[in-house]
Copies of this chain bind each other. A is one copy, B any other.
Amino acid sequence: MANYDLKNEVNDKYSLRGRVFQKLREDILSGKYKEHEELKEVAIGEELGVSRTPVREAFRQLELEGLIQIVPNKGAYVTGITAKDVKDIYMIRSLLEGLCARLATEKITKEQMEEMEENIYLADFHASKGHMDQMAELDNRFHDILYEACDSKMLEHTLKDYHQYVLRVRQKTLSTNTRGRASNDEHRQIMEAIKAGDADKAEQLANKHMLNAYDNMVKNGLNEIYGEEASKE
Protein backbone atom coordinates (compact mmCIF):
# COMPACT_ATOMS: atom_id res chain seq x y z
CA MET A 1 0.00 0.00 0.00
CA ALA A 2 1.10 3.52 -0.65
CA ASN A 3 2.71 4.22 2.64
CA TYR A 4 4.89 7.18 1.79
CA ASP A 5 3.21 10.28 0.58
CA LEU A 6 5.82 12.31 2.51
CA LYS A 7 5.38 15.15 0.07
CA ASN A 8 6.79 17.47 2.66
CA GLU A 9 9.85 18.10 0.55
CA VAL A 10 9.68 17.12 -3.05
CA ASN A 11 8.50 14.26 -5.16
CA ASP A 12 11.59 13.59 -7.15
CA LYS A 13 10.57 10.01 -7.44
CA TYR A 14 11.33 10.14 -11.12
CA SER A 15 15.00 10.88 -10.73
CA LEU A 16 17.37 8.01 -10.23
CA ARG A 17 18.44 9.42 -6.90
CA GLY A 18 14.81 9.61 -5.83
CA ARG A 19 14.17 6.02 -6.79
CA VAL A 20 17.31 4.75 -5.08
CA PHE A 21 16.38 6.75 -2.03
CA GLN A 22 12.87 5.32 -1.82
CA LYS A 23 14.04 1.79 -2.43
CA LEU A 24 16.71 1.95 0.26
CA ARG A 25 14.33 3.64 2.66
CA GLU A 26 11.79 0.89 2.17
CA ASP A 27 14.42 -1.81 2.56
CA ILE A 28 15.73 -0.33 5.78
CA LEU A 29 12.29 0.14 7.28
CA SER A 30 11.23 -3.35 6.27
CA GLY A 31 14.30 -4.81 7.87
CA LYS A 32 16.01 -6.09 4.71
CA TYR A 33 19.09 -4.20 5.80
CA LYS A 34 19.79 -4.89 9.44
CA GLU A 35 21.06 -2.42 11.97
CA HIS A 36 24.73 -1.52 11.69
CA GLU A 37 24.89 -3.23 8.31
CA GLU A 38 27.22 -1.54 5.87
CA LEU A 39 25.77 -0.25 2.63
CA LYS A 40 28.26 -0.28 -0.22
CA GLU A 41 27.88 2.14 -3.07
CA VAL A 42 28.84 -0.18 -5.92
CA ALA A 43 26.82 -3.13 -4.68
CA ILE A 44 23.65 -1.09 -4.37
CA GLY A 45 24.35 0.68 -7.63
CA GLU A 46 24.67 -2.63 -9.47
CA GLU A 47 21.62 -4.05 -7.80
CA LEU A 48 19.53 -1.12 -8.96
CA GLY A 49 21.29 -0.66 -12.27
CA VAL A 50 22.64 2.82 -11.62
CA SER A 51 26.03 4.35 -11.10
CA ARG A 52 27.53 5.37 -7.77
CA THR A 53 26.62 9.03 -8.11
CA PRO A 54 22.86 8.79 -7.46
CA VAL A 55 23.55 6.20 -4.78
CA ARG A 56 25.89 8.55 -2.96
CA GLU A 57 23.34 11.33 -3.06
CA ALA A 58 20.60 9.02 -1.87
CA PHE A 59 22.90 8.16 1.03
CA ARG A 60 23.05 11.80 2.07
CA GLN A 61 19.28 11.96 1.99
CA LEU A 62 18.97 8.82 4.05
CA GLU A 63 21.36 10.35 6.55
CA LEU A 64 19.12 13.39 6.50
CA GLU A 65 16.26 11.18 7.55
CA GLY A 66 18.36 9.53 10.22
CA LEU A 67 18.16 6.09 8.65
CA ILE A 68 21.85 5.67 8.01
CA GLN A 69 25.03 7.13 9.32
CA ILE A 70 27.90 8.03 7.04
CA VAL A 71 31.44 7.80 8.30
CA PRO A 72 33.88 9.64 6.04
CA ASN A 73 36.21 7.42 4.05
CA LYS A 74 34.68 4.38 5.63
CA GLY A 75 31.12 3.74 4.71
CA ALA A 76 27.42 4.09 5.30
CA TYR A 77 25.83 2.11 8.08
CA VAL A 78 22.20 1.50 8.94
CA THR A 79 21.46 3.49 12.06
CA GLY A 80 21.03 1.42 15.16
CA ILE A 81 18.16 2.11 17.50
CA THR A 82 18.57 1.14 21.10
CA ALA A 83 15.82 0.56 23.61
CA LYS A 84 16.88 3.78 25.27
CA ASP A 85 16.56 5.67 22.00
CA VAL A 86 13.00 4.46 21.65
CA LYS A 87 12.24 5.49 25.19
CA ASP A 88 13.74 8.93 24.60
CA ILE A 89 11.83 9.35 21.38
CA TYR A 90 8.53 8.62 23.05
CA MET A 91 9.38 10.96 25.89
CA ILE A 92 10.09 13.71 23.38
CA ARG A 93 7.11 12.86 21.23
CA SER A 94 4.88 12.91 24.27
CA LEU A 95 5.72 16.56 24.85
CA LEU A 96 5.66 17.58 21.21
CA GLU A 97 2.51 15.74 20.22
CA GLY A 98 0.89 17.45 23.17
CA LEU A 99 2.04 20.82 21.91
CA CYS A 100 0.92 19.84 18.43
CA ALA A 101 -2.58 18.94 19.62
CA ARG A 102 -2.75 22.21 21.53
CA LEU A 103 -1.83 24.24 18.46
CA ALA A 104 -4.11 22.19 16.24
CA THR A 105 -7.04 23.11 18.45
CA GLU A 106 -6.68 26.66 17.24
CA LYS A 107 -5.58 26.02 13.70
CA ILE A 108 -7.25 22.91 12.36
CA THR A 109 -9.26 23.38 9.18
CA LYS A 110 -12.67 21.94 8.49
CA GLU A 111 -11.22 19.58 5.89
CA GLN A 112 -8.60 18.28 8.28
CA MET A 113 -11.19 17.74 10.99
CA GLU A 114 -13.37 15.83 8.57
CA GLU A 115 -10.50 13.61 7.47
CA MET A 116 -9.68 12.96 11.10
CA GLU A 117 -13.22 11.88 11.87
CA GLU A 118 -13.30 9.69 8.80
CA ASN A 119 -10.00 8.17 9.82
CA ILE A 120 -11.32 7.20 13.22
CA TYR A 121 -14.53 5.85 11.79
CA LEU A 122 -12.65 3.71 9.30
CA ALA A 123 -10.27 2.47 11.95
CA ASP A 124 -13.22 1.25 13.98
CA PHE A 125 -14.31 -0.82 11.04
CA HIS A 126 -10.91 -2.34 10.40
CA ALA A 127 -10.44 -3.02 14.10
CA SER A 128 -13.61 -5.08 14.11
CA LYS A 129 -12.35 -7.02 11.11
CA GLY A 130 -8.89 -7.51 12.53
CA HIS A 131 -7.18 -5.80 9.59
CA MET A 132 -3.91 -4.95 11.23
CA ASP A 133 -2.20 -3.52 8.17
CA GLN A 134 -4.95 -1.00 7.54
CA MET A 135 -4.98 -0.13 11.22
CA ALA A 136 -1.29 0.68 11.09
CA GLU A 137 -1.79 2.75 7.96
CA LEU A 138 -4.64 4.72 9.52
CA ASP A 139 -2.66 5.27 12.68
CA ASN A 140 0.16 6.79 10.67
CA ARG A 141 -2.24 8.97 8.79
CA PHE A 142 -4.01 10.17 11.94
CA HIS A 143 -0.78 11.51 13.30
CA ASP A 144 0.17 13.06 9.99
CA ILE A 145 -3.13 14.93 9.91
CA LEU A 146 -2.48 16.17 13.41
CA TYR A 147 1.01 17.33 12.42
CA GLU A 148 -0.33 19.22 9.45
CA ALA A 149 -3.13 20.72 11.48
CA CYS A 150 -0.84 22.39 14.01
CA ASP A 151 0.19 24.83 11.27
CA SER A 152 3.83 24.82 12.27
CA LYS A 153 6.23 23.49 9.69
CA MET A 154 9.02 23.33 12.28
CA LEU A 155 7.00 21.16 14.63
CA GLU A 156 5.53 19.13 11.80
CA HIS A 157 8.97 18.34 10.44
CA THR A 158 10.40 17.26 13.78
CA LEU A 159 7.41 15.09 14.58
CA LYS A 160 7.46 13.43 11.19
CA ASP A 161 11.13 12.68 11.68
CA TYR A 162 10.54 10.97 14.98
CA HIS A 163 7.44 9.23 13.74
CA GLN A 164 9.33 7.76 10.85
CA TYR A 165 12.16 6.75 13.11
CA VAL A 166 9.99 4.49 15.21
CA LEU A 167 8.23 2.87 12.28
CA ARG A 168 11.06 0.39 12.20
CA VAL A 169 10.37 -0.62 15.75
CA ARG A 170 6.72 -1.32 15.14
CA GLN A 171 7.99 -3.85 12.63
CA LYS A 172 9.34 -5.87 15.52
CA THR A 173 6.92 -5.25 18.35
CA LEU A 174 3.76 -6.81 17.11
CA SER A 175 0.89 -4.45 17.74
CA THR A 176 -2.02 -6.36 19.16
CA ASN A 177 -5.63 -5.91 18.21
CA THR A 178 -6.52 -4.75 21.72
CA ARG A 179 -3.94 -1.98 21.51
CA GLY A 180 -5.30 -1.04 18.10
CA ARG A 181 -8.74 -0.49 19.55
CA ALA A 182 -7.48 1.35 22.59
CA SER A 183 -5.28 3.54 20.44
CA ASN A 184 -8.16 4.47 18.19
CA ASP A 185 -10.29 5.31 21.22
CA GLU A 186 -7.56 7.66 22.33
CA HIS A 187 -7.51 9.19 18.88
CA ARG A 188 -11.22 9.79 19.18
CA GLN A 189 -10.84 11.51 22.54
CA ILE A 190 -8.10 13.75 21.18
CA MET A 191 -10.22 14.60 18.17
CA GLU A 192 -13.21 15.44 20.35
CA ALA A 193 -11.16 17.68 22.61
CA ILE A 194 -9.86 19.53 19.56
CA LYS A 195 -13.35 19.81 18.13
CA ALA A 196 -14.61 21.17 21.45
CA GLY A 197 -11.82 23.73 21.44
CA ASP A 198 -10.36 22.43 24.70
CA ALA A 199 -6.64 22.89 24.05
CA ASP A 200 -5.57 21.87 27.54
CA LYS A 201 -7.42 18.60 27.34
CA ALA A 202 -6.21 17.89 23.80
CA GLU A 203 -2.64 18.45 24.91
CA GLN A 204 -3.00 16.25 27.94
CA LEU A 205 -4.66 13.45 25.97
CA ALA A 206 -2.07 13.50 23.19
CA ASN A 207 0.58 13.46 25.86
CA LYS A 208 -0.88 10.38 27.49
CA HIS A 209 -1.50 8.72 24.13
CA MET A 210 2.23 8.60 23.48
CA LEU A 211 3.06 7.29 26.93
CA ASN A 212 0.46 4.56 26.51
CA ALA A 213 1.87 3.62 23.13
CA TYR A 214 5.30 3.31 24.69
CA ASP A 215 4.03 1.24 27.61
CA ASN A 216 2.44 -1.09 25.12
CA MET A 217 5.71 -1.51 23.27
CA VAL A 218 7.49 -2.34 26.49
CA LYS A 219 4.83 -4.91 27.31
CA ASN A 220 5.29 -6.48 23.91
CA GLY A 221 8.93 -7.11 24.43
CA LEU A 222 10.72 -3.99 23.29
CA ASN A 223 13.47 -4.38 25.85
CA GLU A 224 13.93 -8.03 25.06
CA ILE A 225 14.52 -7.18 21.41
CA TYR A 226 16.70 -4.15 21.88
CA GLY A 227 18.12 -4.96 25.28
CA GLU A 228 21.61 -5.97 24.24
CA GLU A 229 21.98 -2.83 22.21
CA ALA A 230 20.98 -0.60 25.07
CA SER A 231 23.56 -2.10 27.37
CA LYS A 232 26.31 -1.08 25.00
CA GLU A 233 26.27 2.52 26.05
Chain A residues near B (Cβ < 8 Å): 1, 3-4, 6, 8-12, 15, 18, 56-57, 60-61, 63-64, 69-73, 77, 84-85, 88-89, 91-92, 95-96, 99, 152-155, 158, 232
Interchain CA distance A1-B44 in the complex, whole Å: 29
Closest to A65 in B: B64
The answer, among B6, B15, B154, for a CB contact under 8 Å with A72, is B15
Q: Are A71 and B10 in contact (CB under 8 A)?
A: yes
- If A3-B232, A57-B60, A89-B154 are given as contacts, then 17 extra A-B residue pairs at C-beta distance below 8 Å, sorted by A number, are A1-B232, A4-B71, A6-B69, A8-B69, A8-B71, A8-B72, A10-B71, A15-B72, A56-B57, A64-B64, A84-B152, A88-B152, A88-B155, A95-B95, A95-B99, A96-B96, A158-B158
The answer, among B60, B85, B153, for a CB contact under 8 Å with A61, is B60
The answer, among B64, B73, B91, B155, for a CB contact under 8 Å with A63, is B64
Q: Are B63 and A158 in contact (CB under 8 A)?
A: no
Interchain CA distance A99-B4 in the complex, whole Å: 31
Q: How far is the CB of A80 from chain B (nearest CB, A)?
A: 9
- A96 with B85: in contact, given A18-B72, A64-B60 (CB under 8 Å)? no
The answer, among B11, B89, B92, for a CB contact under 8 Å with A96, is B92
Q: How far is the CB of A101 from chain B (nearest CB, A)?
A: 13
Q: How far is the CB of A85 from chain B (nearest CB, A)?
A: 6
Q: How far is the CB of A163 from chain B (nearest CB, A)?
A: 13
- A72 with B153: in contact, given A57-B57, A60-B57 (CB under 8 Å)? no
Would you mind naming 18 contact pairs between A and B with Cβ atoms under 8 Å apart?
A3-B232, A4-B69, A8-B69, A8-B70, A8-B71, A9-B69, A10-B71, A11-B71, A11-B72, A57-B57, A57-B60, A60-B61, A64-B64, A88-B154, A88-B155, A92-B99, A95-B99, A158-B158
Interchain CA distance A92-B88 in the complex, whole Å: 16
- A85 with B10: in contact, given A72-B18, A91-B99, A92-B96 (CB under 8 Å)? no
Q: How far is the CB of A49 from chain B (nearest CB, A)?
A: 20
